[in-house]
A and B are shown apart, each in its own frame.
Chain A
Amino acid sequence: MRVKVLAIILLLSLAFLLGGLAYVQLVRYERYRTMSEDNRLKIIPLMAPRGMILDRDGKPLVKDTLAFNVAVIYSHIKDKEALINLLHSVLDMKKEGLAVRIDQAKWRAYSPNNVAEDIGIKKAIHLGEIEMDYPGLLLEVSTKREYLLKEGAAGIFGYLGLINRPEFKKLKRYGYRINDLVGRDGVEKKYDNYLRGKHGGKQVEVDHRGRRVSTLGFREPLPGRDVQLTIDVELQKFCDRLLASKKGAIIAMDPETGAVLAMASAPSFDPEIFVDKKKRRKIGDVLLDEDYPLLNRAIAGAYPPGSVFKTVMALAALETGKAREDTSYTCEGSFSLGRAKFRCWKKSGHGVQTMRDAIKNSCNVYFFNTGIRLGVDDISEYAKKFGIGEKSHIDLPGEVAGVLPTKSWKRKRLGDRWYKGDTVNYSIGQGYLLCTPIQICRMMSVFANGGELVTPYIVSKVGGIVINKGKIEDLNFSGENIKIIRDALQNVVNGHRGTGMKAKLKNVIVSGKTGTSQTSRGKNHGWFAGFAPFDDPKLTVVVFDEYGGKGGYYAAGTAGKVFQKAQDMGLL
C-alpha cells in the first residue's frame, strides 16, 4: 500500500516532466527556435560609402571620410577603472561622463557600443597601438559625410538626415536600412538614389561572446556613384563670399545650355551639423533662425522682380506691335489713372523717353503706358513664355513657382476683378507678380542667347556618365526685336549714367537690367540680371539682394564683381 503511494508520487512527477517538456518543445517551439537563431546568427553590416559630389572639373566638394570611433564590449572589460583612466587621458573626456557611457554598454554587453565618436586620426593611432592591452576596448571605423565648402553652396548640396519611419516603410524595398542617412534637400536628396551605395554585410555564426565562429554569407558593399556638378568651385566660393553676412542669392549660369556655374544663397548653414554629433546642437539654431538659412533663395524664394521685368514688357510690346523701337512717352514724374497717381522713381521725371532710354533709365512712366496698351492678358502671355511664374525644373528639390497674375488668378485667389491699376503695378514688376531668382536668370538668358529658353541644371554626370547637356526651347521671337532689347541692356550698363553702370567692366562688355522692388516691409529688394560678353554671352548672372534697401544700383556692382572674377578665371 505504502509502496503504491510512493509509486504514484514518483510516476506523477515523471508525467509532469513529460507535460512540461511538451509545453517547452512543442507549444513554445517557434519562439525558442527564433531566439536560438538570434543567438547564433549575426549580421555584421558593411556600410557602403556614399558617392562624392564633384565640381565641374572633378574636384570633390562633398565626400565620405573615415571617422574613428571608440567602442567598448562590456562583457570583455577586465579593468573598468584603468579603461576610464586611459580614455580620460587620451580623449580628454570627463571621467564621470565616460563611466556613464560605459555603464550604458551593459545593456548590450556582448556587442560594441560607442563611447566616443570621430576622435581624429592621431588619437585613433595612439589608441590603436594599445588597444590590445585593454580588453573590451575596440576601435571602430565608420564613414562621415564631409562638406568641404563648409557653409558654401549648402543650398545646392542640401543635407542628410536619419531616415524616418514613414520614409523607411516606403523605401525599404529599395534597400534602405533603419539607420540609414537619406538626402533631405538639394543634390543629396534629388540624387540620393545614385549617391547612396548598396550596403553589404556578413552573416556570421557567433558564440556566446559574440566572437565569430564561421562566416555563412558575404555580400560586398557597393559604393555609391559620384555626382558631378556644373558648378565651378572657385566661382561658387567667390559668390558665397560676396553674400557673407547678407541675405539674398547669386546665380551664374551658362545662357546657352542652362548649366549653373554658381548658385549661392545667404544666409547659409553648415550641412555637417546634421551628421556630426559634435555639431548637432547647432541644428536648433538653424531651424529657429528667422532668416531661414535652410531656404535656398535662388530657387525656393519668390519675390517681386521689380524693374528687371521691364525687359519682358518691352519685348511683349514689340512682338505684339503695341510699341516700336521709336515709340516714346513723356515722363513727368508720375502717371495718372483716373484719380490715382503712380509715381516714377525719379520725381522730376525723365522727360521724353524712347524704349531704349526707358530701359536704360528704368523709367516707370514709360512702362505704365506700355502696360496699359498691352493689357494684363498679353503681359502674362509673354511672361509665361519666359518661364516667369512657373518652375524652371532645375534638378534640385524644393523649387517654387512664384505667382504669375492673370485676371482669372485674381478672381479665384482674391475674389476680385482685375483693375487697370493692377496692370500699372504689374508693368514695372510689382503688385502680385512673384518670381524666383532662377526664373529671372532664365529670362535674362533668353536675351543673352538670342531668343531661346533654357532649362537650368546643376548635375552633369552621374558615375562618369553624362546625364544632362541642357535643354533649349526656341521661343520664336523676332531676331530684330531681341536685338533692340539687347542693345538697350548693353546701354543700361555702358551708357552714360545708365542705371546698371556699376556692373561695367574694362575689357568685357556687360549688359543687363537692374531692379528695385518695393516690399510691404519697407526695405527694398535689389536686383540685377545681366550677361557678358555682349557679342557672345558666356555667362548670365543674377544678383538678388533681399531687403538690402539699396536697390538695383548696388546689385549691379555685385554682379560686376562676379563678371570680373569670371573674366579673371578665363570663363568669358
Chain B
Amino acid sequence: MPAERIRDLQSEKLTSQVRHVYDHVPYYRSLMDQKGVRPEDIRGIKDIGKLPFLSKEDLRETYPYGMLAVPLSDCVRIQSTSGTTGKRVIAYYTQHDVDLWEECCARAIVAAGGSREDVVQVCYGYGLFTGGPGLNGGSHKVGSLTLPMSSGNTDRQIQFMMDLKATILCCTPSYASYIGESLKESGYKPEDNFLKAGIFGAEPWTEEMRRDIERLLGIKAYDIYGLTETSGPGVAFECAAQNGMHINEDHFYAEIIDPATGEPLPDGEKGELVFTSLDKEAFPLLRYRTRDICVLTREKCSCGRTHVRMSKPMGRSDDMMIIRGVNVFPSQIEAVLLKEGYAPNYLIEVDRVNNSDTLDVYVELLPEQFTDTVGGITAMEKKLAGAIRTMLGIGPIVHLVAPKSIKRSEGKAVRVIDKRKLHD
C-alpha cells in the first residue's frame, strides 16, 4: 500500500478510535477535557499532537478496569505484564482485538518466510505473558503446524525440534542461544536441524548475538517487537532485509517524541517511541509512551513493504533495565538492600557474557557487618543474592565491598553501568 494511502487509512481510523475512547473511557475523556481537546478536533493524523499522552503510571492508576472501552462481557481474554515494578498492567481483548493481534504476529511469521508448510515451535512462555499466546495465534492464522512448547525443559524442546522437524523457532534471543549451545553439546551440527528461521524478541539483543544465533542454529534470526499495553509481540517485526522492524501501522500509529519535552521529532531522530492504537476495541491506547528510545525511518525497504520501520530500542527513557527479558529497576534492588540491613550504597553492573545477560551488584559493607572469615562474607553475599532474586525473578552475583569504595560523582553515586552493546 502506498504511503499516502496508509496515512488516509490511519486518519480515518484515528478519528473513530478517538471518538470511541472519548465516549467510553472516562479517565481519558477527562485528560482530553483538561487539555481542551474535543474528539471533533481530531480530523486526522495531522491532529494527533493535540491529544494528551498516556504513561504506564496512568495504566497502573486505572488498574484493573479503568481503561476498558467496551462492556466487560464483550471481552474474551486478558494478558498481563510481569508486574515486577509494582502493580501489574492488565490488557483486555475482545475477539476482534485477539484477531488483530494474531494477524500482526502472523505477518511477522510470514515476513520470516513462514507458510502453512511450516512447523512453528513456540517456546515463549504461555500464560499471562503475551509471548506464547501471540505467536501461537499468529502461527494458527498462517496455518502452520504449531508446537505450543512454552519455555524451559530444553531436552524436550530439542527432542520435539528434531523429531517433528520444526522449521521456525520463536523464543527470546537468549533462550535461542541456549538451545543452540545445548544442541552443540549434544553433538548436533547446525545443518542437522530443520530450522530455517527464528523470531526472537521480548528482550534487547545485539547484532553480534544475532550472528551467533544464526551460526549456532544455521538459520536467519528475525527481531520482533511489542508490548502488552499495545497487544503484545507483533507490533513491529523484521523482514528479510533485517534492517529495522516494520510497524503494523494500519493498526498502530508510531511517533517519536523528545522524552523531556514531549515534542514530536522528525523521522531519523532518536527519541521516545509513542504508540496510538487505531482500531482496538477493549483496550485502545492513545499516545502511549513506551519509554523505549528508537529511530523511525520511512526510507524504501528492499523487501517492498511500505510500512515505517523502527530501530531496535537503543535504551529506555527512564532507568529501567531489561535483563534476561525481565524489567529491572535500580530502586527494587535498593529496597532489598535496605530491608536486608545494608546501606543503599551500591553499583549495578549489567553485561552480556556468552550471549546471556549478567547482573552483578556491588554493595558496601557496614562496619558492624564485617566478619573475619571468607565463609562468613560469602554466606552474606549468597543471602543477599537470594533476596534480590526473590524480588526480581532473576539472580544476581553479589559482591560485598569496602565502605566508600563505590565511586560517587558530585556526591551522588552512579547506580548502573550497562556494558551491553546494543547498537553496534
A binds B: no
Interface residues of A (CB under 8 A from B): none
Interface residues of B (CB under 8 A from A): none
